[in-house]
Structure formats: structure tokens, C-alpha cells
């Protein structure tokens, strides 16, 4: 068992860090203040080729695995949640196209995502169903060579700037299906703003990356924009759950590393009562606990990534890694604020922004509570509770 990063992983880390070097804490503080889309950052990531890290080589990607993508996301995560969210969907969101799309669809859809000329958003969550995706109400009715879609989505990030949407809709009413997961279809198509009204949500953090409600009224989708078979979209989504949780864990760990570094640097430098506050066990012990929790979460995250790349089951490991990374990121971010004392409340020290942003990984892409339910069922053999 080897716990060292490979030369390729280290090369990826160094290359991504070089791309991120021009977008330090002050850049993201300004984006948090003015809410401006970080277009310069997204362009830099695209120029580096990192949108295509898991995409097939024949379509312009690097053809690497989730372990490589996790290294990219962990490195970008050091900049914070806004940086991660601005590139996440282009980096991994098109995976259903890669796995289930036709060759013609891959040739048409993937290169513009890899080079950054297309920006995509993901329409899945709905106001009345939350995590119970099988109960979505957005409906796509077949009409000849196209589908006509009506419905509503919520928490659709980057829709203000996207020209494409990965859309989940029912094509058969749930009452007419033998199982709830049947009758759901996946589309990747143009985001036609004449048929989709987009309303931005004023939220707690990550101001630079918009989250939105979508009101879909007669969106026309050509049949050739349907991914895979009609009615099989839910199974396609399930295929992407584990890698998504791995990448969210990686990003949360990157953000937590930055928070811990800021806290420990401050503890070394801040002198009160004639001594650095970092000399006090009341400061040392919580920071040491944060380090241990981060190390534990990171080991499980890399294990989950290795299992996925080896084609082995990794649902429990991926879900547990997301849970542990989210908890560790939040606790470390809170500890960074507390270590700074009153200055932790000031935006210029960058730790309060990290705390606000760390809340997101507790809630998405799966809540901590549902993660515990899944682990209880799958790892411990307890009855399903949801």
C-alpha cells in the first residue's frame, strides 16, 4: 500500500497551482463583494486544459481518472468554494455524455465544454422534492422529433452565464411506471432564455457564482439532445453520484487546508500577554484535532477515488469521504475564525468567508443526514430509513 502521490499527480497539482497563482485571496474577496462572475479564472482553467481532465482523448480531453480530477479539485479548493463552483460542472458535469452519449453527441458536445466556449448548468433539484429526484414534476412531452418541456428547477448554479443545460425531466408519469426510478430522462441542450426564465437566489456565500430558480415554459429540445435511452435518466444520474461525492470531498479538503494554514500562521504570529497565542494549549489542541480530522477524511477520499478508478464498488467510501470532509471543513473553518479572535470577524483576514462557504458542503450534493442513512444501510446492513 503506497501513500505517496505519483509523479503524474504531483505534476497535476503543480500545474494547477501555477494556473491559480494569479487568483489569490484578494481576488476572491473582491468577487465576494461585487458578485462578478470570475471569467478570468474560468478562462485560465480552460487554457490549462483542466476542463477535459476526465474527458476522452479523442475529443480533446486528457482521458485521466477520478484520482486526477480529485487532485485538480483539491488544488482549486484551496481558493474557496466560489472557485470550485465556477468550474465544477464543466470539469465533471458532462460525465453522462461521456459514458452514455452517442459518438456523434460526444463529438458535438464535449470539445466546446473542454475549451470553455460552452458553459453548462445542471437542472435537477426542484422546490417540492429536494433529494427525492424520482418525484420531480418537470415533464418533457414527445412531439415528433422534439420534446416540449414545462416545469421548475431550483439551486441551478451558473445559469446566469450558461448557454447549455444538463436537464433532468420526466417523460413518463411516475404513476405509470413500475418503479419510481423509471420514466426519468436526461437531456443536454441549449438554454433557450426565451423559454426559460431565470431568477437568481440571494444566498449566504459564494456570491461570485449565481444560484437560480428556473421556470421552464415550453422549452423545445431536439431528440438528438437526449442522452441515452428515454426513461433511463435516473440510472445515468446514479452512475455519477460517487465521483461527484469524491470531488466535493476533495474540494472541501482543499478549502480546509487553507483555513488551517491561516489559523496556524496567525497563532504563531499573534502575541498576547507577551507570548504567541499558539503556545497555549487552548489554541494548539483544537488546531491539532482539525489536522487529524483532515488527514482521516483525506485518506478515505483517496481510497474512494482509487476504488472508482479500479472499477470497484465505492459507494460507502465516497459517501463517507464526503461526510467526513464536509464536517472537517466546517469545523476547521470555524476554528480558523475563533483562532483569529475578533479579527476573524473582519473580511480582510479571509477566514469568515471560508466559514460561510464551508456550509455548502454540509448540504450538497447530499445532506450529512442522508449520507449517514446511506452508510448505515450499505455498510452496517441496517434497514433503509428513507
* Nearest in space to 81 (alpha carbons), one of 317, 259, 297, 282: 259
352-356: list long-range contacts, CB under 8 Å, 24+ apart.
353/28, 353/29, 353/32, 353/80, 353/205, 354/80, 354/255, 354/258, 354/259, 354/262, 355/259, 355/330, 356/204, 356/205
Q: Domain tally for the chain? A: 3
Question: Does 181 share its domain with 302?
Answer: no
Domain boundary among 86, 114, 142: 114
Residue 340 has which C-alpha cell? 483569529
Q: Is residue 59 part of a domain?
A: yes
Q: Find out whether the peptide bond into 175 is cis, omega within 30 degrees of 0.
A: no
Q: Is residue 58 part of a domain?
A: yes
Question: Does 25 share its domain with 41?
Answer: yes
CA atoms of 344 and 91, how far apart (whole Å):
33
Question: Does 53 share its domain with 136?
Answer: no
CATH of the domain at 345: 1.20.140.10
| Helix (H) or strand (E) run with residue 197 in it | strand 196-200
Question: Does 104 share its domain with 18?
Answer: yes
Per-residue pLDDT 10s for the chain (386 aa) are 788 898 989 999 999 999 999 999 999 999 999 999 999 999 999 999 999 999 999 999 999 999 999 999 999 999 999 999 999 988 888 899 999 999 999 999 999 999 999 999 999 999 999 889 999 999 999 999 999 999 999 999 999 999 999 999 999 999 999 999 999 999 999 999 999 999 999 999 999 999 999 999 999 999 999 999 999 999 999 999 999 999 999 999 999 999 999 999 999 999 999 999 999 999 999 999 999 999 999 999 999 999 999 999 999 999 999 999 999 999 999 999 999 999 999 999 999 999 999 999 999 999 999 999 999 999 999 999 98
Q: Is residue 2 part of a domain?
A: no
Residue 330 has which C-alpha cell? 466546517
Please give the residue range of the domain that contains residue 83: 7-114
Instruction: Decide: residue 193, CB within 10 A, 0-12 exposed, 13-18 middle, 19+ buried.
Output: exposed
Q: Is residue 68 part of a domain?
A: yes
| 141 contacts 147 by C-beta, under 8 angstroms | yes
Question: Does 44 share its domain with 29?
Answer: yes
Amino acid at each position: 500500500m503506497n501513500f505517496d502521490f505519483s509523479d503524474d499527480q504531483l505534476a497535476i497539482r503543480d500545474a494547477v497551482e501555477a494556473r491559480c497563482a494569479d487568483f489569490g485571496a484578494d481576488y476572491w474577496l473582491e468577487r465576494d463583494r461585487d458578485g462578478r462572475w470570475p471569467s478570468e479564472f474560468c478562462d485560465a482553467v480552460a487554457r490549462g486544459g483542466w476542463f477535459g481532465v476526465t474527458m476522452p482523448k479523442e475529443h480533446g480531453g486528457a482521458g485521466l481518472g477520478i484520482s486526477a480530477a480529485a487532485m485538480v479539485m483539491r488544488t482549486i479548493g484551496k481558493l474557496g468554494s466560489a472557485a470550485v463552483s465556477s468550474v465544477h460542472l464543466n470539469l465533471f458535469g458532462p460525465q453522462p455524455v461521456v459514458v452514455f452519449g452517442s459518438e456523434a453527441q460526444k463529438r458535438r458536445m464535449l470539445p466546446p465544454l473542454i475549451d470553455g466556449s460552452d458553459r453548462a448548468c445542471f437542472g435537477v433539484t426542484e422546490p417540492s422534492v429536494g433529494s427525492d429526484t424520482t418525484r420531480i414534476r418537470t415533464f418533457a412531452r414527445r412531439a415528433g422529433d422534439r420534446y416540449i418541456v414545462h416545469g421548475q428547477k431550483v439551486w441551478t448554479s451558473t445559469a446566469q452565464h450558461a448557454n447549455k443545460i444538463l436537464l433532468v425531466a420526466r417523460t413518463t408519469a411516475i404513476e405509470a411506471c413500475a418503479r419510481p426510478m423509471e420514466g426519468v430522462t436526461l437531456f443536454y441542450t441549449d438554454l433557450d432564455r426565451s423559454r426559460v426564465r431565470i431568477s437568481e437566489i440571494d444566498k449566504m456565500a459564494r456570491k461570485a457564482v449565481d444560484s437560480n430558480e428556473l421556470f421552464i415554459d415550453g422549452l423545445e429540445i431536439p431528440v438528438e439532445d437526449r442522452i441515452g435511452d428515454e426513461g433511463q435518466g435516473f440510472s445515468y444520474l446514479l452512475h455519477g453520484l460517487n465521483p461527484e461525492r469524491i470531488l466535493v470531498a476533495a474540494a472541501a479538503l482543499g478549502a480546509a487546508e487553507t483555513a488551517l494554514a491561516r489559523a496556524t500562521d496567525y497563532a504563531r504570529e499573534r502575541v498576547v500577554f507577551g507570548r504567541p497565542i499558539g503556545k497555549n494549549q487552548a489554541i494548539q489542541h483544537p488546531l491539532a484535532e482539525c489536522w487529524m480530522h483532515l488527514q482521516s477524511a483525506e485518506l478515505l477520499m483517496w481510497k474512494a477515488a482509487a476504488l472508482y478508478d479500479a472499477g470497484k464498488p465505492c459507494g460507502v467510501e465516497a459517501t463517507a469521504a464526503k461526510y467526513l470532509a464536509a464536517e472537517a471543513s466546517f469545523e476547521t473553518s470555524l476554528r480558523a475564525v475563533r483562532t483569529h479572535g475578533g479579527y476573524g470577524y473582519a473580511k480582510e483576514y479571509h477566514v469568515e468567508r471560508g466559514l460561510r462557504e464551508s456550509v455548502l458542503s454540509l448540504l450538497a450534493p447530499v445532506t450529512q443526514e442522508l449520507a449517514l442513512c446511506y452508510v448505515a444501510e450499505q455498510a452496517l446492513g441496517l434497514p433503509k430509513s428513507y
